[in-house]
Each structure stands twice: as C-alpha cells, then as structure tokens.
Homo-oligomer: A and B are copies of this chain.
C-alpha cells in the first residue's frame, strides 16, 4: 500500500454530488423498463461537456459481457465523453450482445452529438437473457434531455440491482493551489469477489491527469480496495471500473508518479475505500461488515491470500452472523488458503467498537469471556485481526456475514 493511502489525509474533504461533483459532469437516470415489471430506474447516462482522459479495469472472468468488448475498443485511445449504463440485463451470453452494446453507444452518441468512440457502455443484471434495443431507442433521448449537474442520484439509482442503498462518494482536494473534485457512483452486492469485486463503478474528476496515469492510479488503488472485497466468491462477467478526467480544475496535468500523483491517489483511495467497504457491508443478505486484517506476514501476497480466505469462508461468515466466536473456523480458513505461515505462531483477535478479545495465541485457543466476545461480534462492524508473526507485511480484506437472506435473494433472482 502506498504511504499516501495509509495515513488519513487532512487535505481531503468529503462532499456531496457523487458522479456530478467534478466540474463538467452531468448525469441522468430513468426507468426504461428493461425488465417489464421494473419499479426503479434502470438506465443512466453520465456526460462531460469535453472529451476526457479516461481509463478502466474489467472483470477477469473469461466469460465477459458484450459491453466490455465495446468499451475496451472505445477506450483504446484513452479518451471518453459519456457513459451509457443499464441494470436488469447483463447483455452477456446473448446472441445479439455486441449489436445491442454497439447500438446503445450509437444512440448515445447521436443524442449527445458526440463521437461514438467516446461512449462507454456497461450493463449489469441477469446473464443470457434476450435483450432488445427498444428501451435504449426510447429512453436515450430522454436521458440526454434530462442531463443535470444534480442528476447523480437518479443515475446512481439506475445502476442498482440487489443493492439496498446508493453508493456515492465524492471528495475535494487541492493540486497546485487549485480546488479539485473526484467522485463517483458504484453498485454491487452479490457475486462479489476479487478480480474485481463484482460491480460497476464510475468515477469522475476535474483534476487534470493523463490517461496513462489514470490507469496506473486505478490499478494501484483497486489492488487494496475492490480487489480485497469478497461477498460470495463468485466473480461476475461484467465488472467495470471507469475513471474520467475533465481537467477543469486547471492544475498542471499529472503525467508521472510522485508529487501531485500521490495526492491524487490519496483522493481516489478515499473514494474507492468507501466504495469497497460499502459494497461489502451491502453484500446480499448481509447484517454486518467484516474486516479482516492479516499482520506481520513475510510478504504481501501471503497477507492478501490469508485475509481473503478468511473473509470468504462460508462457515465463518455464518458463525459471525450469529455473533458466535468460533475462531477455529478462522484457523481452518487460514490453513486451507495457499498462504505460507507457521500455525504455531498465529494469534487471532476479534474486535469492534465494543472492545477487543484475543481468542487464539501461538495457534492455540486462549481463555476468553464468551459473553464479551458475543458483545463484540454483535456490532455492525466486526474486525478479525490475525498476527502471523513472521514478517512486516499486512493486508486488509472486507466481506460480510452469511445470512438466510443471501439464500433468499439468490434463490429466485431472475424472477
């Protein structure tokens, strides 16, 4: 982790506005009835009045949504001006997927009078359902007309699927004495696993940053935020994380690492860390956010692998849902991870706002008060701190508990 990400940064101030917080950006959302009986917004446009530097990361699932193919093409020059996004249908494993994704871009370019290669397209929802261009034909002109600097809420509502709340964050920070803004919207609550946490996220900034540096920053911050979130071990087909920079803040364009780059990364980290944690907290059926820190590993990879294995254990997640201090399941999940460590050096603590209790030391259970542990694990945010006592590297992963509701939500998602 970069140092600039580790310390809390006093120069960063959280503000409202989400994806519209940065100068130059407008958004709109609408109910396009992609699912016939949809009661919520399901289509959105984000638009900038100038062509932006842009970069994106995509799912590593071999089965990819058609929108990813098109977005990748359109972003090959590192430039973009608008995003068209829908929920309700992933446009994946469809016979006409490419046609629909291209069609949506063409309609957007036409409505906004911009170059079709500057349109980014993304979809989320059910895989393998037939899809029609009709809702796009009907609604893109309305969205273009409705674009507003206050459209972030409508747009954010449109990308939600099983999300129970909007995920929007924005920050203000300074570069070269200029006030900069960076903000965005994110969705995702099931099929959440590293590479990347399943989600769509759209981040905008008015800080001037080159496309290459946007890509570098996105990778760097993604590795310690979204990539460390897991809800259920399923990695989706449609993950897309986009960043666009209008440059309207007027700072000297960041084109290399160091100096202003670190400040920019701090701002990006502040927003993406919140996205990652909110995504885990809003995991399908979740009642708690679980944070797992693995400390003093002999290398970073071990720390990451171990933390993710613990966060992913269905048995541990079920125990935490009942505030049951079943730390044996932590040891078990450590043991079957590929992480290298010495079992006899491991200690485990459970912590939350209600306190901290050591449950295992040198690989062996400690005496502890079950009552105290129950109180600690009954909080909304629970921390599992594992000390491997082998080196100096650490990693943090986020997940959620496993509840009846996860099953309920996923049993009949298509209907």
Binding site for B on A (CB under 8 A): 60-64, 90, 92-95, 126-130, 190-191, 193, 195, 232-237, 312-315, 318-319, 321-322, 324, 326-329, 331-336, 341, 343, 359-360, 363-365, 402-404, 406-415
Report the minimum CB–CB distance from A125 to chain B (whole Å): 10
6 contacts between A and B (CB under 8 A): A93-B328, A94-B364, A127-B331, A234-B336, A324-B411, A403-B407
Q: What is the total number of copies of this protein in its complex?
A: 2
Q: Hey, which chain B residues are within 8 Å of A92, CB to CB?
A: 328, 331
Are A335 and B407 interface neighbours, CB within 8 A?
no
Q: Hey, which chain B residues are within 8 Å of A413, CB to CB?
A: 315, 319, 324, 326
Q: Which of B233, B315, B331, B412 contacts A314 (CB 8 A)?
A: B233
Given contacts A127-B328, A318-B411, is CB(A62)–CB(B365) below 8 Å?
Answer: no
Q: Which of B94, B234, B324 contacts A412 (CB 8 A)?
A: B324
Q: Is the interface of A mostly helix, strand, loop or mixed?
A: loop
Report the minimum CB–CB distance from A348 to chain B (whole Å): 9
Report the minimum CB–CB distance from A72 to chain B (whole Å): 16
Q: Hey, which chain B residues are within 8 Å of A190, CB to CB?
A: 315
Are B127 and A315 interface neighbours, CB within 8 A?
no
Given contacts A62-B334, A233-B233, is CB(A127)–CB(B411) below 8 Å?
Answer: no
Instruction: State A124–B315 Cα separation when bound (angstroms).
Output: 15
Q: Most B CB atoms within 10 A — which of A60, A190, A407?
A: A407
What residue in chain B is nearest A314 (Cβ atoms)? B232
Report the minimum CB–CB distance from A336 to chain B (whole Å): 4
Q: Hey, which chain B residues are within 8 Å of A364, CB to CB?
A: 93-95, 128
Q: Hey, which chain B residues are within 8 Å of A406, CB to CB?
A: 314, 318, 407
Are B191 and A315 interface neighbours, CB within 8 A?
yes
